[in-house]
Amino acid sequence: MAETDFDVVVIGSGPGGYVCAIRAAQLGMKVACVEKRATLGGTCLNVGCIPSKAMLQSSEKFSEARHGLAAFGVKVGNVELDLPGLIAHKDKVVADNVNGVAFLFKKNKIEWVKGAGKVRGAGTVDVALNDGGARTITTRNIIIATGSDVATLPGITIDEKQIISSTGALALQSVPASMVVIGGGYIGLEMGSVWQRLGAKVTVVEFLDRILPGMDGDVSKQMQRILAKQGMAFKLSTKVMAAKTGKAGVELTLEPAAGGTAETMTVDVVLVAVGRKPYTESLGLAEAGVALDDKGRVKTDAHFQTSVPGIYAIGDVIAGPMLAHKAEDEGVAVAEIIAGQAGHVNYDAIPGVVYTWPEAASVGKTEEQVKAEGIAYKVGKFPFTANGRARAMAATDGFVKVIADKATDRVLGVHILGADAGHLIAEAAIAMEFGASAEDIGRTCHAHPTLSESVKEAALAVDGRPIHI
């Protein structure tokens, strides 16, 4: 093979792209990463996971200081919101994270090519440099890691002021009095929670008859009840037909999902959170012969190779859940595959976490899925009301639910609604990765007093023998 500039060129520096670049460099390859954004880290670090979690953390503390401390015997004076301070905290967290990736690139001798990459064909990437001019790079392997972009609704134009996407929701200059969130998924509930805690009256409009449609039905139902108690309103089985901006706010026209009489409501801000779409714009994929699937995602085989040998794709731009850790694991796997190793991602054990209060976390199959697949199963459930640590934390909302195969007891899915569910789900993911049975979890010693004892108890409940209920 002719001499090339690089062994690997990654297009996009999100959690898929930057992690892939680092792993490839660790494996001795000469790596470049093409990124057009002014900072590294992609959606996740710049306008996704990290800033949203910073704002969730701040708003949670504000809400707790205002409403939650008296229960612990702590009296506070007048609690005030410093929104510019909150945004500054978020911006600093983002800056620290994106600079961290730049440091890791230097440490691993990865070249950041600053500009927009276009695939000319196997082995060649053309870059329109951010500073002007162009550069053509030759490489043995190309990894497409260009991620995703906000999905929009027909007839609704996002102006990032009155009608906003998640990006606008991370940068509002004042707390709106009222907000409609279109979509009761991850972003709708997380960013809806942030602005609700800061004082907005939030209404979630969801097309389906339940929020969090991908999660276990018990989690969705109870999550809705808890969020409603916090003051969030829900309009399920409802579609937004039109949104008109004006001086008085945004006038929305809503209709029952199945059709029927329309109603209107006027709010200050509308957040559109109806999903994300793969980002393949201006990448030259059609000309290069890289095939897409019917949903516009780059089509890949089991080894992340596209329809063109030597061109791979990972992360949000391919099929599968649009989650940062899924993108990261694919980045590691494809680097290892290119290096001749057996890179692999276990799609049956990818956790998902909604960082509301309480959190919802899930790994493996939901009860609806095992039913639909005709699998004989057993369920063990344990409520946090029966957990000593949860009582001490005044965080007794929620439960742990373990679903196991009826014949083999193998864990098929774990679903947690409760404080710190996002951390608790890690043990379930490891258990599933190792093919554990519910009994394995139930017989493992869990520290007392911790919330994790509820995971053990739910596993014991699969066999009808929890101790504390």
Q: Which residues are catalytic?
A: 448
Region for residue 326 given its phi and psi (left: phi exceeds 0; alpha: psi -120 to 50; beta: otherwise): alpha
Cβ closest to ligand NAD, residue 34 vs residue 429 = 429
- Residue closer to ligand NAD by CB (options 120, 235) is 235
Single out the segment in contact with ligand FAD by CB under 6 A; choices: 91-99, 173-181, 323-331, 448-456: 323-331
Q: Applying CB under 6 A, which part among 98-106, 205-213, 338-346, 393-401 lies near ligand NAD? A: 205-213
Q: How many secondary structure helices (H) and strands (E) does the chain include?
A: 14, 21
CA atoms of 24 and 29, how far apart (whole Å): 6
Determine the residue with CB nearest ligand NAD. Answer: 185
Interface pick for ligand FAD out of 10, 22, 43, 397 (rule CB under 6 A): 43
Q: Point out which span in 46-54, 131-139, 428-436, 455-463 binds ligand FAD (CB under 6 A).
A: 46-54
Instruction: CB nearer to ligand FAD: give 32 or 458.
Output: 32
Query: At residue 102, what is the residue type?
Result: A
Give least dist CB 42 to ligand FAD, A.
3
Give the residue with the Cβ less far from ligand FAD, 279 or 399. Answer: 279
* Site for ligand NAD, residues 150 to 179, rule: CB under 6 A: 153
Strand order in the sheet with 399-405: 352-354, 359-364, 411-418, 399-405, 377-383
Work out the number of other CB atoms within 10 angstroms of the CB of residue 76.
10
Instruction: Give 125 or 164: the residue with its C-beta nearer to ligand NAD.
Output: 164
Closest by Cα among 86, 21, 99 to 59: 86
Tokens coding 225: 């009840």
Of ligand FAD, ligand NAD, none, which one does residue 117 interact with (CB within 5 to 8 Å by kind)?
Answer: ligand FAD
- Among residues 334, 358, 352, the alpha carbon closest in space to that of 229 is found at 358
The residue among 166 and 193 lying less far from ligand FAD, judged by its C-beta, is 166
Give the angle 2-19-333 at the CA atoms, nearest 5°. 70
Q: Which of 8, 21, 32, 34 binds ligand FAD (CB under 6 A)?
A: 34
Among the residues of 211-271, which ranges form H helices?
Answer: 217-229
Residue 352 C-beta: closest distance to ligand NAD, Å: 6
Query: Which listed range, 11-19, 213-221, 407-415, 448-456, lies at the site for ligand FAD (CB under 6 A)?
Result: 11-19
Q: According to CB under 6 A, which one of 87, 98, 119, 187 is a site residue for ligand NAD?
A: 187
Closest CA to 161 of 276, 269, 52, 273: 269
By CB under 6 A, tell whether 188 contacts ligand FAD.
Answer: no
Distance CA 404, CA 367 (A): 10
Residue tagged 């017989």 (tokens): 443
Ramachandran sector of residue 175 (left: φ over 0; alpha: ψ -120 to 50; beta: rest): beta
CB of 170 to ligand FAD, least distance (A): 7
Q: Find the binding residues for ligand FAD in span 168-187 (CB under 6 A).
A: 187
Q: Give the count of residues interacting with ligand NAD (CB under 6 A).
A: 26
Distance set, CA 426 to CA 362, 368, 415 (Å): 10, 22, 11
Q: How far apart are CA 414 and CA 429, in angstroms?
A: 8
The nearest distance, CB 251 to ligand NAD, in angstroms, is 16
Helix residue ranges, H only, 64-165: 83-107
| Only segment of 72-80, 224-232, 321-329, 384-392 that touches ligand FAD (CB under 6 A) | 321-329
* Site membership for ligand NAD, residue 47 (CB under 6 A): no
Length of the chain: 469
Site string for ligand NAD, 345-374 (x = CB under 6 A): --------xxx-------------------
Angle among Cα 224, 230, 231 to the nearest 5 degrees reads: 90
Name which of residues 264 to 323 contact ligand NAD (CB under 6 A): 273-276, 321-323
Cα–Cα distance measured from residue 148 to residue 274, given in angstroms and rounded to the nearest whole number: 13
Q: Which is nearer to ligand FAD, 276 or 365 (CB)?
A: 276
| 112 is an interface residue for ligand NAD by CB under 6 A | no
Listed in sequence order, the residues at least 6 apart from 431 whose beta carbon sits closer than 8 Å to its beta carbon are 411, 414, 440, 441
Q: Is 334 in the site for ligand NAD (CB under 6 A)?
A: no
Contacts to ligand FAD by CB under 6 A: 11-17, 34-37, 42-44, 48-49, 52, 116-117, 145-148, 166, 187, 279, 283, 315-317, 322-325, 327, 355
Contacts to ligand NAD by CB under 6 A: 153, 182-188, 190, 205-208, 213, 239-240, 273-276, 321-323, 353-355
